């Protein structure tokens, strides 16, 4: 697999890689809901891309910093093997690493 990632988590199975946004938790001021935020790979092949509009209910909740917007944090893999993020809207979202689909949110997600 070519390239590099600032945010990357390799699953215990050694087959799935989850990559986050190169800005980590900061996004450029001109960001749109179509910004790729999480990419799920299996053996180097892209399975799914999760976009900002799928993580946040309302982009007006982005928090302005001096030069960027803060969107949330990548928490990584939990004990159940799901990939977890926490957004600026105080939502925790868990994704199935084999499909990239959202499988749990908010109170259903207990990280680590």
87-104, pLDDT tens digit by residue?
Answer: 999 999 999 999 999 998
| Overall pTM surpassing 0.85 (yes/no) | yes
Q: How many domains does the chain have?
A: 1
Question: What range does the domain containing 37 cover?
Answer: 8-108
Q: What is the pLDDT of residues 2-54, one digit of tens each?
A: 788 999 999 999 999 999 999 999 999 999 999 999 999 999 999 999 999 99
- 65-98 burial, b if ≥16 CB within 10 A, otherwise e? eeebbebbbbbebbeeebbbbbbbeebbbbbbbe
Residue 55: inside a domain: yes
Inter-residue contact 38 to 50 (CB < 8 Å): yes
In a domain, 3, yes or no: no
2 lies in some domain: no
């Amino acid at each position: 697999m070519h390239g590099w990632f600032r945010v990357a988590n390799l699953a215990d199975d050694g087959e799935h890689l989850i990559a986050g946004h190169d800005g980590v938790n900061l996004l450029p001021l001109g960001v749109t809901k179509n910004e790729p935020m999480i990419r799920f790979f299996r053996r180097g092949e892209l399975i799914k891309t999760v976009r900002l509009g799928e993580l946040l209910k309302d982009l007006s909740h982005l928090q302005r910093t001096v030069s960027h917007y803060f969107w949330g944090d990548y928490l990584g893999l939990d004990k159940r093997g799901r990939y977890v993020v926490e957004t600026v809207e105080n939502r925790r979202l868990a994704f199935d690493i084999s499909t990239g689909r959202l499988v749990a949110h908010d109170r259903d997600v207990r990280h680590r």
